[in-house]
Amino acid sequence: MKKLICSSAALICLCLTFVFLAPLPASAAPEITLRFAGQLPPEHSGTVFMNDIAKTIAERSDGRIEVKVYPANQLGDYGLVHQELIKGTIDMAMISAPGDIDPRINFVYINGFATDYAQLEKTFATGGWAYKKMDELNQTLGVKFLGFNVEGFIGIASTKALTEPLNPKVDKGVLCRVPNMSAYQLPAVAMGFRTMTIPYSDLYTSLQTGVVDAVDGLPPAAAYAILKDVTKFWYQLNYSMEVEPYFMSMKTWETLKPEDREMIAEVVAATAEKSVPLAKSEDEKNMRLMREAGIEVFTYTAAELSDIQKAVAGTWPALADTMGKPFIDEFVKELGPK
C-alpha cells in the first residue's frame, strides 16, 4: 500500500515537473517587435507618452506586438532616425520634423499661426489639414505619419531685459540664438532680434559665457530644465510651438495586418490628443517653477501679442524660397488669419 502511495506521489510530481518545464504557448511570445525611437529624456512627458503607447499596443494585441522604446537619441538624432525610417531599419519614432530632404515637412515650425491652446488643439487635430499634409509629404518618402505630440508654446529666455518685447519695430537690445531654420530666423528678425545660430547642445554655455544674450526656440519645460541657472528673464511670446510628429516606416506599416494598422493608428491618435491639454499645464507649471527660481516671467494676452503675430506672419511669403510658393499659398489659406 505504501509502495502504491509512493508511486502515485512520484507520478504526480513527475507530471507537475513536465507541466512547469513545458514551453509556454507560442502566443505568449511576441510575434512582432517594433523599435520606437525618441529624442526626449526618459522622464519627459513625451517619453512617458511613448511608453504608454508601447504598453497599450501590447495589451490590445494580447502580447503579439512588442514595442521597445529608445529615448534620448539612443538610435540617433532626428535627421538620422527619419532616414532609418525610410530604409525600414527603425520602425517607429517620435522626433522633430526633419526638413533636410523635403523642407516643406518643417511647416509645423512656421511661426505665428496659433497663439493659444484652443488654436493648437484645432490645428493639430487628427484628420485636420496639418495632419493630412504631414502624412502626404512623408508617405512620398516612405514614412507613415500617425499624429502630433505638442510640447508647448515657445518663448525667449534671456540674461538681459528685452527692449519693448511686444513692439516688433524696436530692436530688442540682445543677440539671440535661433534654430537653424528659416521658419525661425525670419520671424526672430521680424520681431526685432539680432540673431545667431548655435547648436542646441551649446545653449547653456553660450548664455553662460555671453556668446549670446538670449535663446529662442524652447518651450518653458525645456528652458527651465536646461537654462534655469543662467536665465534671468522669460518672455512667453507664444509666437511658435514645440511639436514632434509620430512616424512609422512604411516598410513596417505594410507588413502589418489591416486590423493591427488600425489599432496602432487609434492608440497613437488617442495619445496625441492628450498632448495639448498637458502642454498647457506643463507650460504653466514650469513658468511657476521659473518664478520660484528667481527668474522674472512675463506672460501676455492674445490681444497684446497681436502685433508680434502680424509681424511674424508677414515673413511667410519669404518661405516660398525653400518651401515653394504653391505650398506657402496653401498654408496661408488653411492656417492664416481668417
Contact 109, 191 (CB under 8 A): no
What was the pLDDT predicted at 268? Answer: 98
Q: Report the DSSP beta bridge partners of residue 177.
A: 196, 215
pTM of the predicted model as reported, rounded to 2 decimal places: 0.86
Q: Is 34 helix (H, G, I), strand (E, B) or coil?
A: strand
- Between CA 179 and CA 1 the distance in angstroms is 86
Residue-level pLDDT at 270: 97
Q: pLDDT 10s per residue in the chain (338 long)? A: 434 344 444 444 444 444 444 343 444 689 999 999 999 889 889 999 999 999 999 999 999 999 999 999 999 999 999 999 999 999 999 999 999 999 999 999 998 888 889 999 999 999 999 999 999 999 999 999 999 999 999 999 999 999 999 999 999 999 999 988 889 999 999 999 999 998 888 999 999 999 999 999 999 998 998 899 999 999 999 999 999 999 999 999 999 999 999 999 999 999 999 999 999 999 999 999 999 999 999 999 999 999 999 999 999 999 999 999 999 999 999 998 76
Cell numbers linked to 267: 492608440
Q: Which amino acid is at 271?
A: T
Q: What is the pLDDT of residue 1?
A: 43
Q: How do the domains of the chain map onto residue ranges?
A: 155-240+282-335
Q: Side chain identity at 81, as an amino acid letter?
A: V
Cβ-proximal residues to 51 (8 Å cutoff; 6+ apart), any chain: 69
Class of domain 155-240+282-335: alpha beta
- Cell 520634423 sits at which residue? 97
| 91 CB neighbour count, 10 Å cutoff | 23
